[in-house]
Structure 1
Protein backbone atom coordinates (compact mmCIF):
# COMPACT_ATOMS: atom_id res chain seq x y z
CA UNK A 1 0.00 0.00 0.00
CA UNK A 2 2.72 2.65 0.79
CA UNK A 3 4.13 2.29 -2.73
CA UNK A 4 0.64 2.73 -4.20
CA UNK A 5 -0.02 5.80 -2.05
CA UNK A 6 3.17 7.43 -3.29
CA UNK A 7 1.77 7.16 -6.83
CA UNK A 8 -0.53 10.08 -6.10
CA UNK A 9 1.72 12.12 -3.79
CA UNK A 10 3.19 14.17 -6.65
CA UNK A 11 -0.24 14.88 -8.15
CA UNK A 12 -1.74 15.92 -4.82
CA UNK A 13 1.27 18.09 -4.00
CA UNK A 14 1.13 19.78 -7.41
CA UNK A 15 -2.61 20.35 -6.98
CA UNK A 16 -2.11 21.97 -3.57
CA UNK A 17 0.67 24.24 -4.85
CA UNK A 18 -1.45 25.40 -7.77
CA UNK A 19 -4.33 26.21 -5.43
CA UNK A 20 -2.00 28.12 -3.12
CA UNK A 21 -0.67 30.07 -6.10
CA UNK A 22 -4.21 30.96 -7.18
CA UNK A 23 -5.16 32.01 -3.66
CA UNK A 24 -2.07 34.22 -3.43
CA UNK A 25 -2.15 35.92 -6.84
CA UNK A 26 -5.81 36.28 -7.82
CA UNK A 27 -6.96 39.41 -5.98
CA UNK A 28 -10.65 39.30 -6.92
CA UNK A 29 -12.64 36.52 -5.32
CA UNK A 30 -14.74 35.40 -8.34
CA UNK A 31 -11.64 35.12 -10.54
CA UNK A 32 -9.80 33.30 -7.74
CA UNK A 33 -12.61 30.79 -7.37
CA UNK A 34 -12.77 30.23 -11.14
CA UNK A 35 -9.05 29.51 -11.24
CA UNK A 36 -9.31 27.10 -8.30
CA UNK A 37 -12.25 25.32 -9.95
CA UNK A 38 -10.24 24.91 -13.13
CA UNK A 39 -7.26 23.53 -11.19
CA UNK A 40 -9.52 20.96 -9.52
CA UNK A 41 -11.12 20.00 -12.83
CA UNK A 42 -7.72 19.38 -14.40
CA UNK A 43 -6.57 17.27 -11.45
CA UNK A 44 -9.76 15.19 -11.55
CA UNK A 45 -9.20 14.58 -15.26
CA UNK A 46 -5.66 13.44 -14.47
CA UNK A 47 -7.03 10.99 -11.93
CA UNK A 48 -9.58 9.68 -14.38
CA UNK A 49 -6.91 9.21 -17.02
CA UNK A 50 -4.83 7.20 -14.55
CA UNK A 51 -7.79 4.95 -13.78
CA UNK A 52 -8.38 4.41 -17.52
CA UNK A 53 -4.80 3.32 -18.06
CA UNK A 54 -4.11 1.29 -14.91
CA UNK A 55 -5.59 -1.40 -12.72
CA UNK A 56 -5.68 -1.23 -8.95
CA UNK A 57 -3.15 -3.67 -7.44
CA UNK A 58 -5.62 -4.78 -4.77
CA UNK A 59 -9.00 -3.96 -3.27
CA UNK A 60 -7.40 -1.97 -0.44
CA UNK A 61 -5.74 0.28 -3.04
CA UNK A 62 -9.06 0.87 -4.79
CA UNK A 63 -10.69 1.79 -1.49
CA UNK A 64 -7.81 4.13 -0.70
CA UNK A 65 -8.18 5.88 -4.06
CA UNK A 66 -11.94 6.41 -3.81
CA UNK A 67 -11.90 7.27 -0.11
CA UNK A 68 -8.65 9.20 0.40
CA UNK A 69 -7.65 10.64 -2.99
CA UNK A 70 -10.50 11.47 -5.36
CA UNK A 71 -12.95 12.84 -2.72
CA UNK A 72 -10.33 15.28 -1.39
CA UNK A 73 -9.99 16.99 -4.78
CA UNK A 74 -13.67 16.65 -5.65
CA UNK A 75 -14.61 18.25 -2.31
CA UNK A 76 -12.57 21.34 -3.11
CA UNK A 77 -14.12 21.42 -6.58
CA UNK A 78 -17.62 21.49 -5.04
CA UNK A 79 -16.55 23.96 -2.34
CA UNK A 80 -15.11 26.52 -4.74
CA UNK A 81 -18.21 26.31 -6.92
CA UNK A 82 -20.43 26.97 -3.91
CA UNK A 83 -18.34 29.95 -2.82
CA UNK A 84 -18.42 31.41 -6.32
CA UNK A 85 -22.20 31.08 -6.53
CA UNK A 86 -22.63 32.39 -3.00
CA UNK A 87 -20.84 35.63 -3.81
CA UNK A 88 -21.98 36.22 -7.38
CA UNK A 89 -25.58 35.41 -6.48
CA UNK A 90 -25.97 37.13 -3.09
CA UNK A 91 -24.24 40.49 -3.45
CA UNK A 92 -26.41 43.44 -2.55
CA UNK A 93 -25.97 47.09 -3.51
CA UNK A 94 -23.37 47.81 -0.84
CA UNK A 95 -21.19 44.89 -1.88
CA UNK A 96 -21.79 42.93 1.34
CA UNK A 97 -23.33 39.51 1.60
CA UNK A 98 -26.82 39.70 3.03
CA UNK A 99 -26.91 38.41 6.58
CA UNK A 100 -30.33 36.80 6.18
CA UNK A 101 -29.25 34.76 3.18
CA UNK A 102 -26.06 33.64 4.91
CA UNK A 103 -28.06 32.55 7.93
CA UNK A 104 -30.43 30.66 5.63
CA UNK A 105 -27.43 29.00 3.98
CA UNK A 106 -26.10 27.97 7.39
CA UNK A 107 -29.45 26.49 8.41
CA UNK A 108 -29.63 24.52 5.17
CA UNK A 109 -26.10 23.19 5.71
CA UNK A 110 -26.97 22.17 9.26
CA UNK A 111 -30.09 20.41 7.97
CA UNK A 112 -27.97 18.60 5.37
CA UNK A 113 -25.72 17.15 8.08
CA UNK A 114 -28.75 16.13 10.09
CA UNK A 115 -30.27 14.38 7.07
CA UNK A 116 -26.99 12.55 6.41
CA UNK A 117 -26.12 11.87 10.02
CA UNK A 118 -25.38 8.15 9.63
CA UNK A 119 -22.89 8.49 6.78
CA UNK A 120 -21.40 11.60 8.40
CA UNK A 121 -20.76 9.58 11.57
CA UNK A 122 -19.19 6.80 9.48
CA UNK A 123 -16.85 9.32 7.88
CA UNK A 124 -16.01 11.37 10.99
CA UNK A 125 -15.39 8.33 13.21
CA UNK A 126 -13.05 6.71 10.71
CA UNK A 127 -15.14 3.56 10.33
CA UNK A 128 -14.15 1.01 7.69
CA UNK A 129 -16.65 -1.86 8.01
CA UNK A 130 -18.67 -0.75 4.93
CA UNK A 131 -15.73 0.41 2.82
CA UNK A 132 -16.10 -2.37 0.25
CA UNK A 133 -19.73 -1.42 -0.28
CA UNK A 134 -19.07 2.33 -0.34
CA UNK A 135 -15.71 2.67 -2.11
CA UNK A 136 -15.30 -0.26 -4.50
CA UNK A 137 -16.63 -0.06 -8.04
CA UNK A 138 -19.27 -2.52 -9.12
CA UNK A 139 -21.10 -2.39 -5.76
CA UNK A 140 -23.76 0.05 -6.97
CA UNK A 141 -27.20 -0.38 -5.41
CA UNK A 142 -29.76 2.31 -6.20
CA UNK A 143 -31.64 1.52 -2.96
CA UNK A 144 -28.82 2.84 -0.78
CA UNK A 145 -26.84 5.11 -3.10
CA UNK A 146 -27.23 8.84 -2.46
CA UNK A 147 -28.77 11.05 -5.10
CA UNK A 148 -25.53 13.03 -5.41
CA UNK A 149 -23.83 10.00 -6.96
CA UNK A 150 -23.26 10.53 -10.68
CA UNK A 151 -22.61 6.89 -11.34
CA UNK A 152 -19.75 6.07 -13.70
CA UNK A 153 -18.60 2.45 -13.89
CA UNK A 154 -15.01 3.55 -14.41
CA UNK A 155 -14.47 6.53 -12.13
CA UNK A 156 -17.14 6.35 -9.43
CA UNK A 157 -18.23 4.16 -6.56
CA UNK A 158 -21.52 4.25 -4.73
CA UNK A 159 -20.42 6.77 -2.09
CA UNK A 160 -17.25 8.62 -3.12
CA UNK A 161 -19.44 11.46 -4.44
CA UNK A 162 -21.35 11.70 -1.16
CA UNK A 163 -18.09 11.72 0.78
CA UNK A 164 -16.77 14.58 -1.37
CA UNK A 165 -20.00 16.51 -0.80
CA UNK A 166 -19.79 16.02 2.97
CA UNK A 167 -16.19 17.24 3.02
CA UNK A 168 -17.10 20.25 0.85
CA UNK A 169 -20.02 21.21 3.06
CA UNK A 170 -17.83 21.01 6.15
CA UNK A 171 -15.57 23.63 4.55
CA UNK A 172 -18.55 25.69 3.40
CA UNK A 173 -20.11 25.71 6.86
CA UNK A 174 -16.89 27.10 8.33
CA UNK A 175 -16.72 29.72 5.56
CA UNK A 176 -20.31 30.91 6.00
CA UNK A 177 -19.95 30.92 9.78
CA UNK A 178 -16.80 33.03 9.40
CA UNK A 179 -18.71 35.53 7.24
CA UNK A 180 -21.46 35.80 9.85
CA UNK A 181 -19.08 35.91 12.81
CA UNK A 182 -15.90 37.81 11.97
CA UNK A 183 -13.16 37.01 14.45
CA UNK A 184 -13.03 39.32 17.44
CA UNK A 185 -9.91 38.80 19.53
CA UNK A 186 -10.62 37.76 23.09
CA UNK A 187 -8.69 39.21 25.98
CA UNK A 188 -5.26 37.76 26.51
CA UNK A 189 -5.33 34.69 28.76
CA UNK A 190 -3.78 34.98 32.17
CA UNK A 191 -0.34 33.53 32.66
CA UNK A 192 -0.58 29.92 33.80
CA UNK A 193 1.66 29.22 36.75
CA UNK A 194 2.82 25.65 37.49
CA UNK A 195 0.38 25.35 40.40
CA UNK A 196 -2.53 26.51 38.24
CA UNK A 197 -1.48 24.14 35.47
CA UNK A 198 -1.64 21.18 37.88
CA UNK A 199 -5.06 22.27 39.11
CA UNK A 200 -6.42 22.63 35.59
CA UNK A 201 -5.04 19.24 34.53
CA UNK A 202 -7.12 17.57 37.26
CA UNK A 203 -10.34 18.97 35.81
CA UNK A 204 -12.01 17.11 32.98
CA UNK A 205 -15.18 18.29 31.29
CA UNK A 206 -17.68 15.43 31.29
CA UNK A 207 -20.60 17.34 29.77
CA UNK A 208 -21.67 16.40 26.25
CA UNK A 209 -20.61 18.48 23.27
CA UNK A 210 -24.26 19.42 22.68
CA UNK A 211 -24.57 20.70 26.26
CA UNK A 212 -21.40 22.79 25.86
CA UNK A 213 -22.75 24.29 22.64
CA UNK A 214 -26.01 25.21 24.41
CA UNK A 215 -24.00 26.83 27.20
CA UNK A 216 -21.76 28.64 24.72
CA UNK A 217 -24.68 30.17 22.85
CA UNK A 218 -26.21 31.26 26.16
CA UNK A 219 -22.95 32.98 27.17
CA UNK A 220 -22.77 34.65 23.77
CA UNK A 221 -26.39 35.82 23.94
CA UNK A 222 -25.81 37.25 27.43
CA UNK A 223 -22.68 39.12 26.31
CA UNK A 224 -20.48 37.21 28.76
CA UNK A 225 -17.23 37.94 26.90
CA UNK A 226 -15.77 41.31 25.90
CA UNK A 227 -18.91 43.25 26.84
CA UNK A 228 -20.87 41.27 24.26
CA UNK A 229 -18.48 42.03 21.39
CA UNK A 230 -17.03 38.53 21.08
CA UNK A 231 -18.49 36.48 18.22
CA UNK A 232 -20.02 33.05 18.74
CA UNK A 233 -17.06 31.68 16.83
CA UNK A 234 -14.66 33.16 19.39
CA UNK A 235 -16.74 31.84 22.28
CA UNK A 236 -16.75 28.32 20.86
CA UNK A 237 -13.03 28.45 20.11
CA UNK A 238 -12.38 29.52 23.70
CA UNK A 239 -14.57 26.75 25.16
CA UNK A 240 -13.06 24.17 22.81
CA UNK A 241 -9.54 25.11 23.91
CA UNK A 242 -10.25 25.33 27.63
CA UNK A 243 -12.44 22.22 27.84
CA UNK A 244 -10.49 20.15 25.29
CA UNK A 245 -13.61 19.39 23.29
CA UNK A 246 -14.08 19.33 19.52
CA UNK A 247 -16.67 22.04 18.82
CA UNK A 248 -16.03 22.49 15.08
CA UNK A 249 -19.62 21.57 14.27
CA UNK A 250 -21.30 23.85 16.80
CA UNK A 251 -23.57 25.42 14.15
CA UNK A 252 -25.00 22.03 13.20
CA UNK A 253 -25.49 21.09 16.86
CA UNK A 254 -27.18 24.41 17.63
CA UNK A 255 -29.57 23.80 14.75
CA UNK A 256 -30.47 20.46 16.36
CA UNK A 257 -31.03 22.28 19.67
CA UNK A 258 -33.35 24.74 17.93
CA UNK A 259 -35.29 21.84 16.41
CA UNK A 260 -36.07 20.21 19.77
CA UNK A 261 -39.79 19.64 20.03
CA UNK A 262 -39.79 20.48 23.73
CA UNK A 263 -37.48 21.97 26.34
CA UNK A 264 -35.17 23.84 23.96
CA UNK A 265 -32.99 25.04 26.86
CA UNK A 266 -32.69 21.55 28.36
CA UNK A 267 -29.12 21.88 29.68
CA UNK A 268 -29.57 25.42 31.01
CA UNK A 269 -32.69 24.27 32.85
CA UNK A 270 -30.69 21.40 34.34
CA UNK A 271 -28.00 23.85 35.47
CA UNK A 272 -30.59 26.05 37.14
CA UNK A 273 -32.23 23.04 38.82
CA UNK A 274 -28.85 21.77 40.03
CA UNK A 275 -27.90 25.13 41.54
CA UNK A 276 -31.30 25.42 43.21
CA UNK A 277 -30.90 21.96 44.79
CA UNK A 278 -27.40 22.88 45.96
CA UNK A 279 -28.64 26.08 47.63
CA UNK A 280 -31.55 24.23 49.26
CA UNK A 281 -29.13 21.63 50.66
CA UNK A 282 -26.95 24.36 52.13
CA UNK A 283 -29.99 25.96 53.74
CA UNK A 284 -31.01 22.61 55.28
CA UNK A 285 -27.50 22.11 56.69
CA UNK A 286 -27.58 25.59 58.23
CA UNK A 287 -30.92 24.82 59.91
CA UNK A 288 -29.56 21.61 61.44
CA UNK A 289 -26.58 23.39 63.06
Structure 2
Protein backbone atom coordinates (compact mmCIF):
# COMPACT_ATOMS: atom_id res chain seq x y z
CA UNK A 1 0.00 0.00 0.00
CA UNK A 2 2.81 2.41 0.89
CA UNK A 3 4.74 1.45 -2.26
CA UNK A 4 1.72 2.12 -4.49
CA UNK A 5 1.10 5.48 -2.83
CA UNK A 6 4.69 6.65 -3.19
CA UNK A 7 5.00 5.40 -6.77
CA UNK A 8 1.89 7.41 -7.74
CA UNK A 9 3.18 10.41 -5.79
CA UNK A 10 6.55 10.39 -7.57
CA UNK A 11 4.96 9.73 -10.97
CA UNK A 12 2.58 12.68 -10.59
CA UNK A 13 5.43 14.90 -9.39
CA UNK A 14 7.54 14.00 -12.42
CA UNK A 15 4.61 14.86 -14.72
CA UNK A 16 4.33 18.27 -13.08
CA UNK A 17 8.07 18.83 -13.33
CA UNK A 18 8.03 17.86 -17.01
CA UNK A 19 5.69 20.80 -17.61
CA UNK A 20 8.52 23.16 -16.65
CA UNK A 21 11.04 23.93 -19.39
CA UNK A 22 13.66 25.84 -17.34
CA UNK A 23 14.26 28.41 -20.06
CA UNK A 24 16.79 31.15 -19.43
CA UNK A 25 14.13 33.88 -19.51
CA UNK A 26 12.39 32.63 -16.36
CA UNK A 27 14.65 29.87 -15.10
CA UNK A 28 14.75 31.01 -11.48
CA UNK A 29 10.97 31.22 -11.29
CA UNK A 30 10.61 27.71 -12.69
CA UNK A 31 13.30 26.28 -10.41
CA UNK A 32 11.52 27.83 -7.46
CA UNK A 33 8.27 26.31 -8.66
CA UNK A 34 9.96 22.91 -9.11
CA UNK A 35 11.30 23.07 -5.56
CA UNK A 36 7.86 23.86 -4.13
CA UNK A 37 6.24 21.06 -6.15
CA UNK A 38 8.83 18.64 -4.72
CA UNK A 39 8.35 20.07 -1.25
CA UNK A 40 4.57 19.53 -1.46
CA UNK A 41 5.16 15.90 -2.46
CA UNK A 42 7.44 15.39 0.56
CA UNK A 43 4.83 16.90 2.88
CA UNK A 44 2.14 14.63 1.40
CA UNK A 45 4.31 11.60 2.00
CA UNK A 46 5.00 12.64 5.58
CA UNK A 47 1.30 13.17 6.23
CA UNK A 48 0.71 9.68 4.90
CA UNK A 49 3.44 8.27 7.15
CA UNK A 50 1.75 9.86 10.18
CA UNK A 51 -1.10 7.40 9.72
CA UNK A 52 0.89 4.44 8.43
CA UNK A 53 2.47 1.58 10.35
CA UNK A 54 5.16 -0.43 8.64
CA UNK A 55 4.21 -4.09 8.40
CA UNK A 56 7.78 -5.27 8.99
CA UNK A 57 11.36 -4.10 9.36
CA UNK A 58 11.94 -5.27 5.79
CA UNK A 59 9.28 -2.88 4.52
CA UNK A 60 10.72 -0.02 6.55
CA UNK A 61 14.21 -0.69 5.21
CA UNK A 62 12.88 -0.86 1.65
CA UNK A 63 11.18 2.51 2.09
CA UNK A 64 14.10 4.38 3.64
CA UNK A 65 16.69 2.78 1.37
CA UNK A 66 15.00 2.99 -2.03
CA UNK A 67 11.94 5.26 -1.93
CA UNK A 68 12.49 8.09 0.53
CA UNK A 69 15.88 9.13 -0.94
CA UNK A 70 14.36 9.55 -4.41
CA UNK A 71 11.85 12.10 -3.17
CA UNK A 72 14.39 13.89 -1.00
CA UNK A 73 16.73 13.97 -4.00
CA UNK A 74 14.32 16.09 -6.01
CA UNK A 75 13.77 18.66 -3.27
CA UNK A 76 17.47 18.96 -2.50
CA UNK A 77 18.39 19.07 -6.19
CA UNK A 78 16.07 21.97 -7.03
CA UNK A 79 16.99 23.92 -3.90
CA UNK A 80 20.70 23.70 -4.74
CA UNK A 81 20.15 24.31 -8.46
CA UNK A 82 18.17 27.46 -7.60
CA UNK A 83 21.00 28.65 -5.36
CA UNK A 84 23.61 28.12 -8.10
CA UNK A 85 21.54 29.86 -10.77
CA UNK A 86 20.72 32.77 -8.45
CA UNK A 87 24.46 33.43 -8.06
CA UNK A 88 25.29 32.99 -11.75
CA UNK A 89 27.16 35.99 -13.19
CA UNK A 90 25.62 37.92 -16.06
CA UNK A 91 27.57 38.39 -19.25
CA UNK A 92 30.61 36.51 -20.47
CA UNK A 93 30.34 32.77 -21.00
CA UNK A 94 33.83 32.38 -19.53
CA UNK A 95 32.59 33.79 -16.20
CA UNK A 96 29.56 31.52 -16.23
CA UNK A 97 31.72 28.46 -16.91
CA UNK A 98 33.98 29.46 -14.02
CA UNK A 99 30.91 29.76 -11.78
CA UNK A 100 29.66 26.30 -12.78
CA UNK A 101 33.10 24.72 -12.36
CA UNK A 102 33.39 26.23 -8.89
CA UNK A 103 29.97 24.76 -8.01
CA UNK A 104 31.04 21.35 -9.34
CA UNK A 105 34.15 21.39 -7.13
CA UNK A 106 32.07 22.32 -4.08
CA UNK A 107 29.47 19.63 -4.77
CA UNK A 108 32.18 17.04 -5.43
CA UNK A 109 33.68 17.76 -2.02
CA UNK A 110 30.25 17.41 -0.40
CA UNK A 111 29.67 14.16 -2.27
CA UNK A 112 33.03 12.83 -1.11
CA UNK A 113 31.85 13.21 2.49
CA UNK A 114 28.96 10.86 1.67
CA UNK A 115 31.06 8.47 -0.38
CA UNK A 116 30.54 5.51 1.97
CA UNK A 117 26.73 5.49 1.87
CA UNK A 118 26.66 6.32 -1.85
CA UNK A 119 28.95 3.41 -2.67
CA UNK A 120 26.97 1.17 -0.32
CA UNK A 121 23.83 1.92 -2.37
CA UNK A 122 25.57 1.60 -5.75
CA UNK A 123 27.06 -1.76 -4.81
CA UNK A 124 23.62 -2.91 -3.58
CA UNK A 125 25.06 -3.99 -0.26
CA UNK A 126 22.68 -4.92 2.57
CA UNK A 127 24.78 -5.96 5.56
CA UNK A 128 24.21 -2.58 7.29
CA UNK A 129 20.58 -2.08 6.31
CA UNK A 130 19.22 -2.52 9.82
CA UNK A 131 21.62 0.14 11.08
CA UNK A 132 21.26 2.60 8.18
CA UNK A 133 17.57 2.39 7.35
CA UNK A 134 15.60 1.66 10.54
CA UNK A 135 14.44 4.67 12.55
CA UNK A 136 15.05 3.00 15.93
CA UNK A 137 18.69 2.20 15.10
CA UNK A 138 21.29 2.95 17.76
CA UNK A 139 22.57 6.41 16.73
CA UNK A 140 25.60 6.12 19.02
CA UNK A 141 27.16 3.80 16.46
CA UNK A 142 27.41 6.61 13.91
CA UNK A 143 30.29 8.98 13.55
CA UNK A 144 29.45 12.65 14.19
CA UNK A 145 27.62 14.09 11.17
CA UNK A 146 26.29 17.61 10.87
CA UNK A 147 23.38 16.23 8.84
CA UNK A 148 22.02 14.50 11.92
CA UNK A 149 20.73 17.87 13.14
CA UNK A 150 18.69 18.27 9.93
CA UNK A 151 17.08 14.84 10.09
CA UNK A 152 13.59 14.43 11.48
CA UNK A 153 13.76 10.92 13.01
CA UNK A 154 10.03 10.54 12.51
CA UNK A 155 10.27 10.74 8.73
CA UNK A 156 13.89 9.99 7.85
CA UNK A 157 16.92 8.05 8.90
CA UNK A 158 20.32 9.72 8.81
CA UNK A 159 21.55 7.57 5.96
CA UNK A 160 18.33 7.84 3.97
CA UNK A 161 18.70 11.63 4.13
CA UNK A 162 22.39 11.46 3.24
CA UNK A 163 21.64 9.17 0.32
CA UNK A 164 19.05 11.64 -1.01
CA UNK A 165 21.71 14.35 -0.82
CA UNK A 166 24.30 12.20 -2.58
CA UNK A 167 21.89 11.41 -5.43
CA UNK A 168 21.07 15.13 -5.77
CA UNK A 169 24.76 16.12 -5.88
CA UNK A 170 25.52 13.52 -8.58
CA UNK A 171 22.55 14.65 -10.66
CA UNK A 172 23.51 18.30 -10.33
CA UNK A 173 27.19 17.73 -11.14
CA UNK A 174 26.17 15.88 -14.32
CA UNK A 175 23.76 18.67 -15.28
CA UNK A 176 26.34 21.42 -14.73
CA UNK A 177 28.83 19.54 -16.91
CA UNK A 178 26.22 19.51 -19.67
CA UNK A 179 25.63 23.25 -19.17
CA UNK A 180 29.38 23.87 -19.54
CA UNK A 181 29.46 21.87 -22.77
CA UNK A 182 26.54 23.92 -24.08
CA UNK A 183 28.41 27.14 -23.29
CA UNK A 184 31.46 25.82 -25.13
CA UNK A 185 29.30 24.97 -28.15
CA UNK A 186 27.90 28.49 -28.10
CA UNK A 187 31.41 29.91 -28.05
CA UNK A 188 32.38 27.80 -31.08
CA UNK A 189 29.20 28.57 -33.01
CA UNK A 190 29.36 32.21 -31.99
CA UNK A 191 32.77 32.46 -33.64
CA UNK A 192 31.22 31.19 -36.85
CA UNK A 193 28.30 33.63 -36.81
CA UNK A 194 29.19 35.15 -40.16
CA UNK A 195 28.92 31.75 -41.86
CA UNK A 196 25.63 30.68 -40.30
CA UNK A 197 22.33 30.37 -42.05
CA UNK A 198 19.60 32.60 -40.65
CA UNK A 199 16.09 31.35 -40.03
CA UNK A 200 13.83 33.97 -41.64
CA UNK A 201 10.49 32.18 -41.31
CA UNK A 202 8.28 32.68 -38.23
CA UNK A 203 9.78 31.39 -34.99
CA UNK A 204 6.74 29.21 -34.29
CA UNK A 205 7.57 27.15 -37.39
CA UNK A 206 11.08 26.49 -36.14
CA UNK A 207 9.73 25.42 -32.76
CA UNK A 208 7.29 23.04 -34.47
CA UNK A 209 10.24 21.53 -36.36
CA UNK A 210 12.34 21.23 -33.19
CA UNK A 211 9.64 19.30 -31.37
CA UNK A 212 9.17 17.05 -34.40
CA UNK A 213 12.90 16.26 -34.32
CA UNK A 214 12.70 15.58 -30.59
CA UNK A 215 9.68 13.28 -31.04
CA UNK A 216 11.49 11.45 -33.84
CA UNK A 217 14.47 10.69 -31.61
CA UNK A 218 17.01 11.63 -34.29
CA UNK A 219 19.63 13.12 -31.93
CA UNK A 220 21.85 11.07 -29.60
CA UNK A 221 19.74 7.95 -30.11
CA UNK A 222 16.71 9.82 -28.79
CA UNK A 223 18.29 10.88 -25.49
CA UNK A 224 18.83 14.59 -26.31
CA UNK A 225 16.42 16.76 -24.34
CA UNK A 226 14.35 19.55 -25.84
CA UNK A 227 16.49 22.30 -24.32
CA UNK A 228 19.67 20.93 -25.85
CA UNK A 229 18.02 20.59 -29.28
CA UNK A 230 16.46 24.07 -29.13
CA UNK A 231 19.69 25.74 -28.01
CA UNK A 232 21.79 24.06 -30.69
CA UNK A 233 19.36 24.73 -33.53
CA UNK A 234 18.77 28.28 -32.32
CA UNK A 235 22.51 28.96 -32.45
CA UNK A 236 22.85 27.22 -35.81
CA UNK A 237 20.17 29.39 -37.42
CA UNK A 238 20.93 32.59 -35.48
CA UNK A 239 17.56 32.56 -33.74
CA UNK A 240 17.13 33.15 -30.01
CA UNK A 241 14.54 30.68 -28.77
CA UNK A 242 12.79 31.39 -25.47
CA UNK A 243 9.43 30.24 -24.16
CA UNK A 244 9.45 27.40 -26.68
CA UNK A 245 7.49 25.21 -24.28
CA UNK A 246 4.68 27.76 -24.09
CA UNK A 247 4.67 28.03 -27.88
CA UNK A 248 4.46 24.25 -28.13
CA UNK A 249 1.38 24.27 -25.90
CA UNK A 250 -0.23 26.75 -28.30
CA UNK A 251 0.66 24.44 -31.19
CA UNK A 252 -0.91 21.49 -29.38
CA UNK A 253 -4.24 23.27 -29.02
CA UNK A 254 -4.63 24.39 -32.63
CA UNK A 255 -8.19 23.75 -33.76
CA UNK A 256 -7.39 22.46 -37.25
CA UNK A 257 -4.06 20.87 -38.10
CA UNK A 258 -1.59 20.89 -35.22
CA UNK A 259 1.33 20.45 -37.64
CA UNK A 260 0.72 23.25 -40.13
CA UNK A 261 4.38 23.85 -40.93
CA UNK A 262 5.25 20.16 -41.28
CA UNK A 263 2.22 19.64 -43.51
CA UNK A 264 3.30 22.55 -45.70
CA UNK A 265 6.86 21.23 -45.88
CA UNK A 266 5.60 17.84 -47.00
CA UNK A 267 3.34 19.35 -49.68
CA UNK A 268 6.10 21.58 -51.04
CA UNK A 269 8.67 18.79 -51.04
CA UNK A 270 6.32 16.51 -52.98
CA UNK A 271 5.53 19.36 -55.39
CA UNK A 272 9.23 20.08 -55.87
CA UNK A 273 9.94 16.38 -56.51
CA UNK A 274 7.18 16.18 -59.08
CA UNK A 275 8.36 19.31 -60.85
CA UNK A 276 11.94 18.01 -60.85
CA UNK A 277 10.76 14.76 -62.43
CA UNK A 278 8.79 16.61 -65.06
CA UNK A 279 5.47 15.20 -63.89
Q: So what's the TM-score if we normalise by structure 1? A: 0.57
**What's the counterpart of residue 261 of structure 1?**
none
- The equivalent position to 1:62 in structure 2, one of 56, 60, 63, is 60
Shift of residue 55 of structure 1? Answer: 0.4
Task: Tell me which residue corresponds to 1:73.
Answer: 71
Q: May I ask how many residue pairs the two structures share in their alignment?
A: 183
Pairing 1:140-155 to 2, within 5 Å after superposition: 140-141=138-139, 143-144=142-143, 146-149=145-148, 150-155=150-155
Shift of 1:9: 2.1
TM-score, normalized by length of structure 2?
Answer: 0.59
* Counterparts in 2 of 1:93 and 1:4: CA distance versus 1, 3 Å: closer
SS at match of 1:129: coil
Q: Unaligned regions of 5+ residues in structure 2, if any?
A: 186-219, 221-279
Match of 2:121 among 115, 120, 123: 123
| 1:117 CA drift (Å) | 2.5
- Match status 1:174 vs 2:174: yes
SS at match of 1:154: coil
What is the Cα deviation at residue 152 of structure 1?
A: 2.0
Q: What is the CA-CA distance between 1:103 and the residue it aligns to? A: 1.6
Counting only pairs closer than 5 Å after superposition, residues 1-289 of structure 1 correspond to structure 2 as: 4-23=2-21, 28-93=26-91, 98-141=96-139, 143-144=142-143, 146-149=145-148, 150-182=150-182
* 1:204-261 Cα deviation digits (max 9, x unpaired): xxxxxxxxxxxxxxxxxxxxxxxxxxxxxxxxx9xxxxxxxxxxxxxxxxxxxxxxxx
Matched-pair contact (CA < 8 Å) for 1:145–1:159:
no
Which SS does the other structure have where 1:119 is aligned? helix
Query: Aligned pair in 2 of structure 1 residues 151, 109: CA closer, same or farther (>3 Å)?
Result: closer
String of CA shifts for 1:156-202, please: whole Å, max 9, x gaps.
21211100100000111101111222286xxxxxxxxxxxxxxxxxx
Q: Structure 1 residue 99: deviation in Å? A: 2.2
For structure 1, which runs of at least 5 residues remain unmatched after alignment? 185-236, 238-289
Q: CA RMSD in A?
A: 2.6
